[in-house]
Amino acid sequence: MSTTDIDEGPDRTGDPEFERARARVEELAPEITAHRRRYYEDAAPTVSDSQFDELMHELIDLETRYPELKKNDSPTEQVGTFSEAFAPVTHLEKMLSLQDVFSLEEVQTWADRITAEVPGERYLCEVKIDGLAVDLVYENGRLTRAATRGDGVTGEDVTANVRTIAAVPQRLAAADGFPVPSLLEVRGEVYFPTADFERLNESQVAAGKAPFANPRNAAAGSLRQKDAAKTAERPLSFIAHGLGVLQGFEPDSQSHSYAALDAWGLPVSPYWRVVPTIDEAFAYIEEFGGKRHKLVHEIDGIVIKIDDFGVQRRLGATSRTPRWAVAFKFPPEEVNTRLLDIKVSIGRTGRATPYAVLDPVRVAGSEVEFATLHNADQVKAKGVLIGDIVVVRKAGDVIPEIVAPVAAARTGDETEFAMPERCPECDSVLAPAAEGDIDLRCPNARSCPGQLRERLAFATGRSCFDVDRMGYIACAALVQPLEPAEPVLTDEGGVFDLKMDELLPIRVVVRDPDSGLPKIDEKTGEQKVVTPFARQPDKKTGEILPRKNAEEMLQNLEAAKSQPLWRVVNALSIRHVGPVSAQALAEHFRDLDRIAEADEEEMAAVDGVGPTIAAAIKDWFAVDWHRDIVERWRAAGVRMQDEAPDPSEALPQTLEGVTIVITGGIDGYTREGAAAAVKARGGKSSSSVSKKTGAVVAGDKPGSKYDKAVQLGVTVVQGEDFDRLLEHGLGEFSSQSEESGDGNEPE
């Protein structure tokens, strides 16, 4: 940028802050313009919307502080852009954009400014559809032209493409009170229905094409096809949200115009609402923020408009945006970052699972560095390459996942992921456990340190022996120490025989808990090494004493030997056996030896077990070293039988025959504990909701099971009422207390 490009202003040359601002503006302006071109012309943005917004707001902020840095062609002065691939058309009336805000305080400030000028106005709230803006012209009721927004003044002619969208009427219908106007310019959003998006990406990948990063890109890519027949193949839809020129009919408000559009056969959003106060607009924001992923299309915020057209005219607009509307943008849930690597982890049953190592990025309120990729087929299906810029989001707002690569950002240096042939932990050759299995497994089940560490952490964890102070680091130290050369445990059989003098000499490399990479001591430049069970040697005597945690760990191991049988069964890490089937087995057989000796049919007949689990148990006990684990635990004093219950102590069977599904966390209960409590009351705990489900208990952060319950009309009990449900049964929560469920086993 030359200095002649910069508006006159106070001479701040030399002021270091100003110089920094100038340098940043010179960086930002071309960067934003390039992003804009990729977004509008190529339908292939390389940054997420929120990242784009951030750059834009940084530039607006700098230009506000230093107006002399604002060039006439600054991207902050433009609304979109257009390409030459389609014929240019001039909109009858300029298409404005919206002022974005990112907090409720900013919405309040906007409302206060309006209230100061025109008190008591009503607000029309609606969702901000994440699609592609188009402008449709109807002359005497016939669709004559459709254009993209372009720069707001001139757009691209996409009439042939828009004609293929079933939701867009070719002719307007007349209705009572709504005569067809002689000229109508209507604005709205072309969108790609969320439900169809995944299917589209699957077919893109299958055809060897790059998947779309999100439904909006899919909408843009589908609409802006030179061959309209290709657009016709895509399930695009349309929702109108505003007017340009209108002749032959005069609506007096935004809501009146929506009634008119609807009467003429143009789709309007089913979600708009007129509210009398800004507080109610806040409630609308909260309501739709909660269901943003449950609508037919994606939304990226809420638009609040002044309903009255007279007041809209009075408030007017800046060169870019109207003063009578504001867009509250949701915090980003999808961001772009680089996929640095794909690594493979080994689970407790030996399954090799690829996971993504990402350039750390904040998504939905937390830093994300890793994302699971499930299996090699999924890596292929997602079409991601190592080195790609990828779109990351939190699935169900909790677990990070890669949505898709940003193919437009590829440089050619990206590399394809290949599943390793050998276990990254023990170098054994990976193979499917059975013919036709998708998953590869490490066959070195007994002493692969990865598998053993995971099994040990599971067996001593909350759903099994529940050994406090025996965390993941302790388990890793026992199976994979730096010293001694031979690990203290070579399988989980010896866990109850651990002695303090074996623990004290153990030294381990300190690893980053997320990446698993060794931590480096900044002073020495060498790997950090610690003794996890021993304190530093006494400076005078050289005596090595145990850490308090290590002492407590051994005490807790001792106490864990008397845990009930179902926890012992669960701790064996038998494939397909989870806490529910372990409880069913323990209740039926009451003795581990009887389980080991039972024939498959008897086991399969136990409610909550079935043939797959029965076969897995048989297979497990057929392995010598598995039986040795049981014998070593027995010899160490682990309880192998449950007493027959004393009928006088049995809890009232308040949930007899009732199937309960639990979703989300319940205060005071682990997932297994809650299932056990249902069982103790004669109920059945299931993981899937059907019409036969007696009730769904919705705890903290309930999942999709809650939605399904609402959909099917199944009784929903709030997490805090769980104890009341156990004590009194379903009665007070519903009139229908139905029989049996579908028996699905949570794993």
What are the residues binding ligand IVH (CB under 6 A)? 96-98, 126, 128-129, 133, 189, 241-242, 303, 322, 325, 327
DSSP-assigned states of every residue in 469-495: T--HHHHHHHHS-SBSSS-S-SSGGGG
Task: Assign residue 740 a region (left: φ > 0; alpha: ψ between -120 and 50; beta: otherwise).
Answer: left
Phi, psi values for residue 550, rounded to 5°: -65, -40
Give the list of residues 6+ apart from residue 261 with CB closer than 8 angstroms, or none.
186, 240, 268
Q: Give the whole-angstrom CA distance, residue 580 versus residue 309.
A: 61
Nearer to ligand IVH, 133 or 675 (CB): 133
Q: Tokens 């705990």 map to which residue? A: 685
> Cβ of residue 241: shortest distance to ligand IVH, in angstroms?
4
Task: Single out the catalytic residue among 71, 94, 128, 539.
Answer: 128
> Cβ of residue 98: shortest distance to ligand IVH, in angstroms?
4
Nearer to ligand IVH, 96 or 390 (CB): 96
Is residue 181 within 8 Å of residue 140, measured between CB atoms?
no
> Cβ of residue 152: shortest distance to ligand IVH, in angstroms?
9
Q: Give the whole-angstrom CA distance, residue 326 versus residue 308.
A: 15
Distances (CA, A) of 388 to 6, 32, 182, 392, 399: 37, 21, 51, 12, 20
Is residue 313 within 8 Å of residue 243, measured between CB atoms?
no
Query: Is 345 assigned a ligand-binding role in the annotation?
Result: no
Nearer to ligand IVH, 303 or 356 (CB): 303
Q: Tokens 């480096």 map to which residue? A: 520
Q: Give the whole-angstrom CA distance, residue 584 versus residue 743.
A: 12
Nearer to ligand IVH, 324 or 496 (CB): 324
Minimal CB distance to ligand IVH: which residue? 133
Q: Which among 282, 288, 248, 250 is positioned nearest to 269, based on CA atoms?
A: 288
Phi, psi values for residue 341, rounded to 5°: -165, 165
Q: Give the whole-angstrom CA distance, residue 6 versus residue 25.
A: 11
Nearer to ligand IVH, 96 or 459 (CB): 96
Is residue 31 within 8 Å of residue 55, measured between CB atoms?
yes
What is the greatest pairwise CA distance in the chain?
Answer: 100
Is residue 147 within 8 Å of residue 156, measured between CB atoms?
yes
Query: Is 125 assigned a ligand-binding role in the annotation?
Result: no
Nearer to ligand IVH, 128 or 351 (CB): 128
- The SS3 call for residue 325 is strand
Burial classification of residue 667, based on how many CB atoms lie within 10 Å of its CB (0-12 exposed, 13-18 middle, 19 or more buried)? exposed
Give the list of residues 6+ apart from residue 143 with CB closer than 8 angstroms, or none.
136, 137, 159, 162, 163, 168, 169, 170, 171
Give the list of residues 6+ apart from residue 525 with CB closer than 8 angstroms, or none.
none
Query: Is 50 assigned a ligand-binding role in the annotation?
Result: yes
> Cβ of residue 469: shortest distance to ligand IVH, in angstroms?
53
Nearer to ligand IVH, 133 or 210 (CB): 133
Catalytic residue at 209? no
> Cβ of residue 736: shortest distance to ligand IVH, in angstroms?
40
What's the CA dihedral at 371, 372, 373, 375 to 10 degrees? Answer: 160
Sheet holding 399-405, edge to edge: 366-372, 352-363, 334-346, 389-395, 399-405
Nearer to ligand IVH, 124 or 557 (CB): 124
> Cβ of residue 480: shortest distance to ligand IVH, in angstroms?
53
- 325-329 vs 100-101, strand pairing mode: parallel
Nearer to ligand IVH, 134 or 452 (CB): 134
Query: Is 329 assigned a ligand-binding role in the annotation?
Result: yes
> Cβ of residue 321: shortest distance to ligand IVH, in angstroms?
7
Query: Is 442 assigned a ligand-binding role in the annotation?
Result: yes
Phi, psi values for residue 717, rounded to 5°: -110, 130
> Cβ of residue 242: shortest distance to ligand IVH, in angstroms?
5
DSSP-assigned states of every residue in 675-714: HHHHHHTT-EEESS--TT-SEEEE-BS--HHHHHHHHHT-
> Cβ of residue 79: shortest distance to ligand IVH, in angstroms?
8
> Cβ of residue 325: shortest distance to ligand IVH, in angstroms?
5
Nearer to ligand IVH, 90 or 711 (CB): 90
> Cβ of residue 397: shortest distance to ligand IVH, in angstroms?
23
Q: Where are the beta strands (DSSP E) in 178-314?
A: 183-191, 237-247, 273-275, 299-306
Angle at which helices 49-65 and 16-40 cross, to 10° = 140
DSSP-assigned states of every residue in 262-282: HHTT--B-TT-EEESSHHHHH
Nearer to ligand IVH, 125 or 675 (CB): 125
Q: Which amino acid is at 110?
A: W
Query: Is 98 assigned a ligand-binding role in the annotation?
Result: yes
Query: Is 464 assigned a ligand-binding role in the annotation?
Result: no
Query: Is 126 assigned a ligand-binding role in the annotation?
Result: yes
Binding-site residue set:
49-53, 97-98, 126, 149, 189, 305, 329, 423, 426, 442, 448
> Binding site residues for NAD(+), as ranges?
49-53, 97-98, 126, 149, 189, 305, 329
Annotated binding site for Zn(2+): 423, 426, 442, 448
Q: Which residues are catalytic?
A: 128
